[in-house]
Each structure stands twice: as C-alpha cells, then as structure tokens.
Amino acid sequence: MLFYLFAALAVLSGAYMVLTRNLLYAGFSLLVTLLSIAGIYVLLYADFVAVTQLMVYVGGVLVLILFGIMLSSRVQDKSVRSESVNKIWGTLVAGLVGVGLCYTILKANISSLPWLLAAETDVLGWQKSTVQMIGIKLMTDVVVPFEVVSLLLLIALMGAAYIATDKQEL
Amino acid sequence: MLAFLLTLMLLLGIVIVLAYAERKVAAFMQDRMGPTEAGPYGSLQAVLDVLKLLQKEDIVPAAADKKLFKLAPILIFAAVFAGFAVIPFAPSIVPAGIGIGVFYLLAIISLDVVGLLMAGWGSNNKYAMLGAMRSVAQIVSYEIPAGLAILSAVMICQSLDFQEISYQQGALMNQFPGMEYDMNWLFGIRELGINTTTIGGITTWNIFRAPMLLVAFVIYFIASLAESNRAPFDIPEAESELVAGFHVEYSGFRFAVLFLAEYSMMVLVSLVAVVLFLGSWNTPLPNIGPVSLAYWTTGTVGELSGILWGVFWLLSKTFVLLFLQLQVRWTYPRLRVDQLMHLCWKVLTPIALGVVLLAGLWRLLMI
C-alpha cells in the first residue's frame, strides 16, 4: 500500500517536473520525487541508500540547483522559464527507451528470481541496518572502485577550487 | 502516533519555556528586569506572545508566489520536527529507534535548507531573498565541521544508533542487547586498567572516556549555533541590514510556525550535543564504592522511575546548553560574512579533521 503511494507520488511529481515551464517549480517537484524514491528504498530494506539519497541529492545537488536558478534570474522577474526543444528526437529516444524497458521487464521471469524469493524472509536478521554489511563490503570486495571514486571526487574538488580562484594574480 | 503527539507536546512546552528564558536571560545579561507584568515574574509573557501571534491577521503579499509562500513554513517545521524522531528520551523511550539514526538526522536536517529557499523566494522580497541566501550558504558550510565532529563521536562509539550511543555512556551499558560484555575504561585507555563499566556517571560520558571529544563538542556547539542562525552567526537575520531575514513577509500563524521551527532547531541541536557528547540520559553522578549514586539516580529501565530520571537528566543537560546559547547571543557581536567563512573553513574544519583522525587512533586504545 505504502509502495503505491510513494510510487504514485514519484511518478506524478516527476511528470510535473518535466511538463512545467517554471524552472523553480520543477526544482521543488524534484524534491518530492527524490523523497518518494527514498521512501521506496526504505521499503526495500535499503535504509542506508535512502538516507544517502536524501543527504546527497536533497542536501547537496538540489540546493545547488535551486541556488543556480535563483541567482541566474533577477528578483524582479516573474520566474525563469524553460523552453522545449528537440521535440521529435526527444519523443523518439524516450519512446525507444520505454519500449526497451518494457521488453526487458516482460522477458524477465520475475516471479522466479532468487533474490525476490528470499525477500519474504527477514533480510536484516539480527542486524539493525545494512550499514555494517556495506562497510565490510567497501573495505574488502569493492575497495578498488571505492578508492577510485574517492580519487575522482578529490580531482573534481581541486578542479572546482582552481576554477574558483582569482586568476589575476597569476 | 502517540510518540508523535507526546514529542510535539514536549517540544511546545520546551519552546514556550525557552521563549520566556530568552527574554529573561537577555534582561539579565543587560542588567534590566525583562518581562514582569504578566504572571509572577512575567512567566506568562511567552504564552501571551503566542496568543497574540495566533490572533493576528494572516497576510499573504499580493506579489508573492502564494503556493510556495504557504508551503514553506510547513516544510521547514516538518524537517526540524522529523529530526526529533530518533532522539532517545529515556532508556526505553525513543520515538523511532532506527539503526542509522545519526545519519538520518543529518540528512533530514538538510531538508530545512530547501524550505528556507522556498520561503525566501516565495516572499518575492529582496530582504527575504538575501536572508534566505545567506542562511542557506551558512547552514551548508557549517554542516561540514558539525558533521565531522559528529563523525568523531560515532567513531568512538562504533554505532549510528542514538540509543546504543546513549547506553554506552553510562552504568547500564551491559543491559543493551549486543553489548553484554563490552567494557568502559578510564579515559578509554585499556592499559590504565581502571574499569569504569559499573562506575558509570560522568566517567563514561563521551567527553570523558575519549577526551578529544571535548574539542569535537566545542566545534559542534559553535557549528550548531550557526546552523540554527543564532547570534553571533545571525547575519541571515541581521535586523539592522535585512529587517528580519527570510521571514520578513510572514505574519500571524505562519510566523508562529517559523518561530517554532527556529526554536525547535535550537532544542534539537542541543539534544544531539547532549546525546553524542554529554552522556545522553545518563546521570552525571558515579557509583563510588558502596555509595551507588549512579544506580540511585537512574531508576529501573522500562519502569516509570527509569523514564522520569532519563527525561530529567536529558532535559536538564539540554537546558544548560540552551542557556549557554542564549548567553552567547548577548556576549559576542555579530560576525562579518568573511569572518564567518574564515572561521568555518580555515579554523573549524581543519581542527575537526584532526579530531576525527585522533578519534580513530583513540578507538584502538579502547579495545
């Protein structure tokens, strides 16, 4: 029941975000989308992913987007408008992706997937959250991708600092 | 549902007391009387203020973005109030004891920022807009030292669950499922050989069993002042430049909600500081030989005595911190924007990083 509520919210706000002409409203409906997706994650026993979603996307990315929208228009203006371009290509690509997804979903024999059969049982067991498991995995099986990602973020950070520096002194 | 109502009632009570205390402490710091007319020593002043606010006309500016303007106070208060869901009030009382409470709290607080932007934009007022921008920039920046300070406490406790962190800081530690055989040592150093597991009291508080957390606590306290837009970090609401900041257009009930959210934020950050660093609902009195002060002032877990003692200690420590917040407001002048950013990025963040490193090393001594 809760799942359908969150799913409907996510779909409706996502559609509103795409269709509205007002960029700021689009930003705020993105907030609703992200929140309902976080709710779906919680229902899937992925509490850590849900909170990370809130932390990174709502606390970081969304605030940055809103800041960008607000700073790029004067306060006296009504609001920033978005234009729709590439209507044909957009519909075509979206339609193809939709057909592809439908095909894959129909092809997959969902009712016999092993992890779905196991989902009825108590996934977490004695643990209270998935954090311990994620931590162990990050330090053992996937330690190289983890370190590579952190290196990438560091490079991005240095790049941002370089772009932001005042170059007149150089 | 019951937890929701109880927490809301408790919060409203605390905020009313706090609003009264704000005026009385301000008066005390400035050597004047403060409110004296309403009730004994003016103690009904805050209640009257709330009644007055509720009677006022609710004005929505004609040029405002009405939907955003009306939605913003709800979003701001909801974000702050959602944070209270994971705070343990007593050994057996926590509204929602989820395993990643600390992380959840940090994430849900950041929703507040979106609400502030919404209020500032929706008001369609340049002062409101400037106030919201400043406020968001400040909150986003100070989340980093605050988060690092919290991280160092989490590293010492090895848990993201507020209730587990609370149990670790007292004589009841072995009653928590999963920690039956854990031990606390004096200053957290096993080599000293002084077992404080059953002594409890202040010797097992986080700032005592890992002394570098005292630095983390100070960093967290400063950052939390900035996050709740309190003086000396109140440039988002600087009355002399911005009239009132992001809530300049709000009146009546909507202003009351924003006011409530702001004071709830103060209460929430103080509660988090108490839970993470100052022993949560544990008593400060240790067991000394046969005089088991800690057990006497803790009560029995799950019974009324345990609940009352837990709530009493938690709230009294919180009120000490809140008093400190009020006192700081009338002690330090407001910081300039560049000073604010200098303090955040060049002073607090490096120290906090150092404390995180030290906390990781200290944990090795504790096991």
Q: Do B91 and B45 lie in a common domain?
A: no
Q: Which of A59, A66, A128 sits opposite B117 (nearest CB)?
A: A66
Catalogue the long-range contacts made by B270-273 (C-beta closer than 8 Å, 24 or more residues apart): B270/B224, B270/B318, B270/B321, B270/B322, B270/B325, B271/B84, B271/B87, B271/B314, B271/B318, B272/B87, B272/B105, B272/B150, B272/B220, B272/B224, B273/B217, B273/B220, B273/B221, B273/B224, B273/B321
Give per-residue pLDDT as tens, B298-332: 777 777 788 888 888 888 999 999 999 888 888 88
CA–CA separation, A51 vs B269, rounded Å? 19
Q: Does A9 touch chain B (CB under 8 A)?
A: no
Q: Do B237 and B276 lie in a common domain?
A: yes
Residues of B with CB under 8 A from a CB of A: 65, 68, 98-100, 103-104, 106-108, 110-111, 113-114, 117-118, 121, 124, 126, 129, 133, 136, 140, 143, 160-161
CA atoms within 13 A on the CB side of B123: 26
Q: Does A48 touch chain B (CB under 8 A)?
A: yes
Q: Do B77 and B14 lie in a common domain?
A: no
| In contact, B83 and B112? CB cutoff 8 Å | no
Q: Which two tokens stand for residue B162?
A: 């507020």
Q: Which residue of A has its CA nearest to B124?
A: A75
pLDDT given at position A78: 55
Q: Which two tokens stand for residue B41?
A: 């020593």
Q: List chain A pLDDT tens, one digit each, 170 residues.
A: 788 888 888 889 888 888 877 777 888 888 889 889 888 888 877 888 888 888 888 888 888 888 887 777 654 455 566 667 778 888 899 999 999 999 988 887 777 777 666 666 665 555 666 787 888 888 888 889 999 999 999 999 899 888 888 776 55
Q: Do B182 and B278 lie in a common domain?
A: yes
Q: Do B16 and B67 lie in a common domain?
A: no
Note the ipTM here: 0.75
SS3 of chain A: helix, strand, coil, percent, to 5: 75, 0, 25
Question: Which class would CATH give A1-85?
Answer: mainly alpha
Among left, alpha and beta (phi > 0; psi -120 to 50; other), residue A84 is beta
CA–CA separation, B108 vs A77, rounded Å? 32
Q: Do B12 and B154 lie in a common domain?
A: no
Quickly count: other Cβ atoms within 10 Å of residue B193's Cβ: 8
CA atoms within 13 A on the CB side of B351: 19
DSSP β-bridge partners for residue B268: none
Q: Does A65 touch chain B (CB under 8 A)?
A: no
pLDDT given at position A156: 93
pLDDT given at position A96: 94
Q: Do B135 and B25 lie in a common domain?
A: no
3-state secondary structure B334-353: CCCHHHHHHHHHHHHHHHHH
pLDDT given at position A101: 92
Q: Give the number of domains in chain B.
A: 2
pLDDT given at position A124: 59
Residue B285 DSSP symbol: P
**Residue ranges of chain B with pLDDT lower than 50?**
none
Q: Do B24 and B72 lie in a common domain?
A: no
Q: Do B30 and B65 lie in a common domain?
A: no
pLDDT given at position A168: 66
Contacts of B99 in chain A (CB under 8 A): 47, 127-129, 131
Q: A88 CA to chain B: closest CA distance, Å? A: 33
CB spacing of B110 vs A63 below 8 angstroms: yes
Q: Do B199 and B50 lie in a common domain?
A: no
Max intra-chain CA distance, chain A: 65
Q: Do B227 and B134 lie in a common domain?
A: yes
Q: Which two tokens stand for residue B106?
A: 């940090």
Q: Do B327 and B283 lie in a common domain?
A: yes
User: B287: helix, coil or strand?
Assistant: strand
Q: Does A134 touch chain B (CB under 8 A)?
A: no
- Parse chain A into domains and list their residue ranges: 1-85, 127-170
CB spacing of B107 vs A47 below 8 angstroms: no
Quickly count: other Cβ atoms within 10 Å of residue A150's Cβ: 10
Q: How distant, in Å, are the alpha carbons of A29, A30, B36 from that of A9?
A: 10, 11, 51
User: B195: helix, coil or strand?
Assistant: strand
CB-based contacts of B111: which residues, under 8 Å, 6+ apart? A54, A58, A59, B75, B78, B79, B82
Q: Which of B98, B108, B124 sits opposite A47 (nearest CB)?
A: B98
pLDDT given at position A95: 92
Domain that holds residue B30: 1-54
